[in-house]
């Protein structure tokens, strides 16, 4: 009975996320410097009586951006849930752990090595950027493991500290590389690094989509393992789970998702940190439910953040990453305050 009510709650929440996401998509499509009516949008999408200016606005500017926002948000939300699950630490977040910074460094390095050709952008460069990011993300995770391991198990406190150290180290590396670039690439790299998606295009969608389509279902299938991992390490081993192997698999998938997201949108922090907290309040602790809900919440967060960044200070645009951190930090501090008080 309890199980049934949990399941129905899950579907309800997921439906809620979907409706919110659709609402965000609707307002992002219609509002902006060039206002379109709903009828115009429907007409353009269904190719009834197409007009070239509407086509341009919808297909070349707004739609790719919205799709990227949705995909990145979804990916980061799921990745955050997995990281918090693996490390058993509610403060774990790809940004705080330095994975964003590492993937960012790797991508900047890639831009630097292929200097000049980046502007021309063959489809290959969009497909290979996530690969490079992946390598960088891995370097970070490997270092995290090296330094945060204590008597064979991951110490949550150390993990965070090592992550902060790695973040600033990779940040410095990125700065060093980006200063060696030529001015055009440098400009592109800084805009991209601050977590913005204004330059979104369909090639980027193509670059990120396969990663998410493959990895998120894989993670979802492992939800049961993630549930068990919340127990104490020795009990997990006792239950017959090969913790280390499973953890490594999950990490590989998770870093893959993060790197794909970073390679298109730069570092958008706090989505991976906050989405799981909200999701846990809504649907409880089971990862079977948490993973998709986190994806949904992340999607709504990034869509909304991007919309606000575009509208609030128009005609100037704010990168999504900044909007989310300005809104997210106070919420996060409040969460910490509540959680600690409840415990005390």
Partner 1 sequence: MRSFKWKTWTFSGLALALMVVTVIISVLHGTKPIRYETAWEALVHFDEGNVDHQIIRTSRIPRAIGALLIGGLLAASGALMQGMTRNPLASPSIMGISDGSVFAITLCMAFLPGASNMAMVGYSLAGSALGGVLVFGISRLLPGGSSPVMMAVLGTVMGTFLGGLSQALASYYQVSQNISFWYNARLHGISPDMIQLAIPFAAAGLILALFMARPMTALSLGEEIAAELGMNVKLIKSLTMLSVVIMTGISVAIAGKIAFVGLILPHITRFLVGPDYRRIVPLSALLGALFLGWCDLISRFLNPPFEVPIGVVTALFGVPYFLYLIKTRGGGRSE
Considering only 48-56, 174-182, 279-287, 291-299, which stretch makes contact with partner 1 by CB under 8 A? 174-182
Selected from 76, 107, 162, 303, the binder of partner 1 by CB under 8 A is: 162
Return the number of the residue (3 or 341) whose C-beta is nearest partner 1.
Answer: 341
Please state, in angstroms and rounded to a whole number, the distance separating the CA atoms of residues 252 and 215.
9
Return the number of the residue (42 or 312) whose C-beta is nearest partner 1.
Answer: 312
Minimum distance of partner 1 from residue 62's CB (angstroms):
21
Residue 340 in the binding site for partner 1 (CB under 8 A): yes
Residue 158 in the binding site for partner 1 (CB under 8 A): yes
Number of Cβ within a 10 Å radius of residue 207: 23
Residue 156 in the binding site for partner 1 (CB under 8 A): yes
Which residue do the tokens 């900044």 mark?
Answer: 322
Contacts for 229-232: CB closer than 8 Å, 24+ residues apart: 229/85, 229/86, 229/88, 230/85, 230/88, 230/285
Please state, in angstroms and rounded to a whole number, the distance separating the CA atoms of residues 9 and 7.
5
Minimum distance of partner 1 from residue 311's CB (angstroms):
12
Please state, in angstroms and rounded to a whole number, the distance separating the CA atoms of residues 310 and 307.
5
Give the SS3 label for residue 150: strand
Residue 121 in the binding site for partner 1 (CB under 8 A): no
Which residues from 209-238 bind partner 1, rule CB under 8 A? none
**Rounded to whole angstroms, what are the CA distances from 89 to 32, 84, 155, 171?**
40, 5, 9, 24
Q: Using H for helix, E for strand and C for coil, what is the string for 47-68?
A: CCCCCHHHHHHHHHHHHHHHHH
Return the number of the residue (296 or 328) whose C-beta is nearest partner 1.
Answer: 328
Selected from 166, 262, 279, 297, the binder of partner 1 by CB under 8 A is: 166
Minimum distance of partner 1 from residue 98's CB (angstroms):
10
Selected from 14, 71, 82, 96, the binder of partner 1 by CB under 8 A is: 96
Cα dihedral sign, 157-163-164-166: positive
Selected from 180, 221, 232, 242, the binder of partner 1 by CB under 8 A is: 180
Helices (H), 197-319: 202-221, 223-229, 233-238, 243-265, 271-283, 287-311
Residue 330 in the binding site for partner 1 (CB under 8 A): yes
Which residues from 300-329 bind partner 1, rule CB under 8 A? 313, 316-319, 321-323, 325-326, 329
Return the number of the residue (7 or 326) whose C-beta is nearest partner 1.
Answer: 326
Residue 142 in the binding site for partner 1 (CB under 8 A): no
Residue 291 in the binding site for partner 1 (CB under 8 A): no
Q: Which residues bind partner 1 (CB under 8 A)?
A: 91, 96, 143, 147-148, 150, 155-158, 160-162, 164-169, 171-173, 175-176, 179-180, 194, 269-270, 313, 316-319, 321-323, 325-326, 329-330, 332-333, 336-337, 340-341, 343-344
């Amino acid at each position: 009975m309890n199980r049934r009510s949990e399941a129905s709650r899950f579907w309800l929440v997921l439906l809620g996320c979907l409706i919110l996401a659709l609402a965000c998509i609707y307002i992002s499509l219609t509002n902006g410097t060039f206002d379109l009516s709903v009828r115009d949008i429907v007409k353009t999408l269904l190719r009834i009586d197409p007009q070239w200016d509407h086509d341009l606005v919808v297909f070349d500017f707004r739609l790719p951006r919205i799709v990227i926002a949705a995909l990145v948000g979804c990916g980061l939300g799921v990745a955050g849930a997995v990281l918090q699950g693996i490390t058993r630490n509610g403060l774990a977040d790809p940004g705080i752990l330095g994975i964003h910074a590492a993937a960012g460094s790797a991508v900047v390095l890639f831009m630097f090595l292929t200097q000049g050709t980046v502007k021309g952008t063959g489809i290959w460069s969009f497909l290979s950027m996530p690969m490079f990011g992946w390598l960088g993300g891995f370097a970070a995770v490997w270092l995290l493991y090296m330094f945060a391991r204590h008597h064979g198990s991951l110490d949550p406190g150390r993990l965070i500290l090592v992550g902060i150290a790695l973040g600033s180290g990779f940040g410095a590396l990125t700065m060093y590389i980006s200063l060696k670039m030529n001015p055009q690439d440098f400009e592109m790299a800084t805009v991209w690094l601050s977590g913005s998606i204004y330059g979104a295009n369909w090639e980027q969608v193509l670059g990120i989509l396969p990663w998410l389509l493959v990895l998120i279902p894989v993670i979802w299938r492992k939800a049961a393992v993630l549930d068990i991992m919340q127990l104490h390490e020795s009990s997990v081993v006792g239950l017959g789970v090969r913790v280390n192997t499973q953890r490594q698999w999950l990490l590989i998938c998770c870093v893959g998702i993060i790197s794909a997201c970073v390679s298109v949108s730069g570092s958008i922090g706090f989505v991976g940190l906050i989405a799981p907290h909200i999701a846990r309040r809504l649907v409880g602790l089971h990862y079977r439910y948490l993973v998709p809900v986190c994806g949904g919440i992340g999607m709504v967060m990034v869509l909304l953040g991007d919309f606000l960044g575009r509208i609030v200070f128009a005609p100037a645009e704010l990168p999504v990453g900044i909007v989310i951190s300005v809104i997210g930090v106070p919420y996060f501090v409040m969460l910490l305050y509540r959680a600690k008080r409840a415990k005390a």
